[in-house]
Structure 1
Amino acid sequence: MKTDDGADAPAPSRRAAAPAPEPPPPGGILWSIAGDVRVFLSLPPALALQVAHPAVGAGVDDHSVFRTDPWGRGERSLRSVLLWVYGGEEAAAEGRRLREVHKSIQGTDARGRPYHALTPANYAWVHATGFPVYRHAQRYLGRPFTAAQERQLYAEWLRVGRILGIHDRDMPGTVEEFWPYYRRILAEELDLTTVAAELVAVDRSLPPPDRGPRAVRLVARALWPVLLPPLARFRRFVTIGLMPPDAREAIGLPWTAAQERRLRRFGRVVRVVVPLLPERLRYLPIARRARAAHRTAPARSARGAG
């Protein structure tokens, strides 16, 4: 086929490129909770639940820098989560970046089975853990979700999965279909893997923070021998306590009635205090900027139309 000037025209594409998956909508449930400072409490149980899967635990054990660069790894993980929800056009790019990073992650798990990070069952489980943990943590740290809100949260979580390159066929399509899938993984796959045990250990060796204001880092370094033991105990407490009970039972993590009462008291304080914080303290920077931009967008559009 020739153009008007006689040059060869490019052959038409047989199939138009699929549009990039879109992040959850502004004003949705994830828009409200994913960038709230309470995410620091709900992320540890989600991470522990992920690595309790032998394939995922082996991938982290063999390939992650969580031991040598724990603060950097945590910062990058949190930024990635926030981009999925608040990143706009950056969300899809972040999803592609993550898949590229995971292409080389493979090996043999503790049960002697070969694994690859992008095997659909493994990759989907890592994502799936966020839904039951968000749901359970909300009962302590905020107002429990209604049945309609749970369905909305799950639908939004599926949208995030598409950003990560998870096909719809690899995740249950509804909340009702999710729970049998979830219980099957608990019963057949989960274990107290080496990495899961490390994440809840109180004697884990952790260096002082190497990020943040210099003055804070210097103080933390000087007081780290005193600060680390209570911080480690608190991390274990919220990691186990905010993990859904059936999950911690499947992994074999202990939890007592006295700990449950302490968690409920702690949750009541969090539920009262956090909503009173100004937005600059309540929401993390990526979330705060996205929320502010969304609020001002209608005003800018109105001015442009005028």
Structure 2
Amino acid sequence: MTVQNFDTGVREAEPSILGAPTFDDDIDSLELRLGADSLVWKFYGDVRGVLGFQRLAGTENCIEQLAKGVEDHSIIFNDFLGRAQRSGPPIMRTVYSDDPYLWGHRVRDFHRDIKGTISDGSRYHALNPELFYWAHATFVDQVLFITDTFIRRLSEAEKEQIFEESKVWYQLYGVSARSQPQTYAEFCEYWDSMLERFVPTKTIVYATGYLRQGIPGPSFIPKPVWRVVSVPLNAFMRTVIVGTLPQQMRDVCELEWNPRMQKRFDRFAAFMRAMNPVFNRLPMKMLYLQWANEGWERTGVDPRKIHNG
């Protein structure tokens, strides 16, 4: 998959929806689910994944067609956190629920009418395979990056396994996989090529404003007090959250980064990895997000005892 393939395919601006299996296909026998033995189950729903929220949402929206879809069809500018809360759970249920095919198609069908034009007049459609796969790729990257950075180092074989599992995950949406890389090495090449396409979209510039200007204080805290108490919070955001971002995103969003900040980020990441044995002793409801925890409870498997490296 190259940038040229993306440019050509995305301008078709046509949905490519796959037909649903029929009851005659015996859905339960199809390889259309992940389970407790998968690395995606182990790591995707881990609470430490929230440290990658800006990387996930940000990389998605540095691609103009996707960002314009959010701008045209979402309430992100009026309810940024609310949008995240509404879109996140269905995607997580696609992985962890007992009916992943249903949830995957529900996520897909949210996007049936998301279409329009971008700045050069060309059309986009959210269910165009090149655009829809890019959105999925950012979730795959989140699992790989957050696990390797904040949980524990992944071996090359484990990274390859996560990518192979991500292909099953993508199947659940019922959108053509024509743009999907076929190997982990191809995925890395694809990812790097997409980073070079990043632009400062209206959506992403807005969504990263708090990293440039500081977190706005709640109305119930006096402004002079907030200026004092927000100092460590803003310092954390500008080191840890900006530290998770690829340099291309920092550049288009005009986010400061330097070697001194990188060293601080590396120390924080190393501390988090060193604390992994402690995290693995936490109660399940503290270690996993709600929808992941429901999946583990249903299977009766304790993930704290598996895939610890």
TM-score (norm 1): 0.77
Quick check: 1:51–1:196 contact (8 Å CA) kept in 2?
Answer: yes
Aligned to 1:243: 245
Quick check: 2:68–2:118 contact (8 Å CA) kept in 1?
Answer: yes
Of 274, 284, 290 in structure 2, the residue corresponding to residue 285 of structure 1 is: 290
For 1:76 and 1:40, locate their aligned partners in 2 and report how far apart those are by CA, in whole Å: 15
1:41 deviates by 1.0
Aligned to 1:259: 261
What runs of 5+ residues in structure 1 fail to find an aligned partner? 1-13, 209-219, 298-306
Residue 264 of structure 2 aligns with an amino acid whose one-letter code is R
| Residue 66 (1) aligns with residue 76 (2) | yes
For 1:134 and 1:274, locate their aligned partners in 2 and report how far apart those are by CA, in whole Å: 17
Query: Which moved further from structure 2: 251-260 or 75-84?
Result: 251-260
Quick check: 2:31–2:168 contact (8 Å CA) kept in 1?
Answer: yes
Aligned to 1:80: 90
Aligned to 2:103: 94
Alpha-carbon spacing, 1:111–1:229, altered in 2? closer, same or farther (3 Å): farther
Alpha-carbon spacing, 1:275–1:171, altered in 2? closer, same or farther (3 Å): same
| Residue 164 (1) aligns with residue 173 (2) | yes
Alpha-carbon spacing, 1:192–1:70, altered in 2? closer, same or farther (3 Å): same
1:237 deviates by 4.1
Aligned residues: 271
RMSD: 3.1
Q: Deviations over 1:213-269 (max 9, x none)?
A: xxxxxxx66349637776566445444311344665677654211221221222234
Alpha-carbon spacing, 1:176–1:140, altered in 2? closer, same or farther (3 Å): closer
Quick check: 1:52–1:191 contact (8 Å CA) kept in 2?
Answer: yes
Of 151, 170, 179 in structure 2, the residue corresponding to residue 142 of structure 1 is: 151
Quick check: 1:132–1:244 contact (8 Å CA) kept in 2?
Answer: no
Q: Give the secondary structure class of the aligned counterpart of 1:222.
A: coil
Q: Give the secondary structure class of the aligned counterpart of 2:47.
A: coil
Of 290, 295, 303 in structure 1, the residue corresponding to residue 300 of structure 2 is: 295
Aligned to 2:58: 48
Alpha-carbon spacing, 1:264–1:257, altered in 2? closer, same or farther (3 Å): same
Aligned to 1:184: 193
- Which has the greater radius of gyration? 1
Quick check: 2:91–2:104 contact (8 Å CA) kept in 1?
Answer: no
Query: Which moved further from structure 2: 68-77 or 58-67?
Result: 68-77
Quick check: 2:46–2:288 contact (8 Å CA) kept in 1?
Answer: yes
| Residue 197 (1) aligns with residue 205 (2) | yes
Alpha-carbon spacing, 1:22–1:64, altered in 2? closer, same or farther (3 Å): same
Alpha-carbon spacing, 1:26–1:293, altered in 2? closer, same or farther (3 Å): same
Quick check: 1:21–1:92 contact (8 Å CA) kept in 2?
Answer: no
Alpha-carbon spacing, 1:79–1:236, altered in 2? closer, same or farther (3 Å): farther
Q: Give the secondary structure class of the aligned counterpart of 2:113.
A: coil
Residue 138 of structure 1 aligns with an amino acid whose one-letter code is T
Residue 164 of structure 1 aligns with an amino acid whose one-letter code is Y
Q: Give the secondary structure class of the aligned counterpart of 1:107.
A: strand
For 2:206 and 2:295, locate their aligned partners in 1 and report how far apart those are by CA, in whole Å: 35
Residue 198 of structure 1 aligns with an amino acid whose one-letter code is Y
Q: Deviations over 1:28-87 (max 9, x none)?
A: 111111111112112220110001000001111111112222232121222123202111
Residue 173 of structure 2 aligns with an amino acid whose one-letter code is L
Residue 31 of structure 1 aligns with an amino acid whose one-letter code is W
Quick check: 1:141–1:267 contact (8 Å CA) kept in 2?
Answer: yes
- What is the identity percentage for the equivalent residue pairs of Structure 1 and Structure 2? 25
1:155 deviates by 1.0
Aligned positions of 1:102-117 closer than 5 A: 102-117=111-126
Residue 286 of structure 2 aligns with an amino acid whose one-letter code is L
| Residue 129 (1) aligns with residue 138 (2) | yes
1:137 deviates by 2.6
TM-score (norm 2): 0.76
Query: Which moved further from structure 2: 231-240 or 96-105?
Result: 231-240
For 2:121 and 2:95, locate their aligned partners in 1 and report how far apart those are by CA, in whole Å: 36
Q: Give the secondary structure class of the aligned counterpart of 2:124.
A: strand
What runs of 5+ residues in structure 2 fail to find an aligned partner? 1-21, 303-309
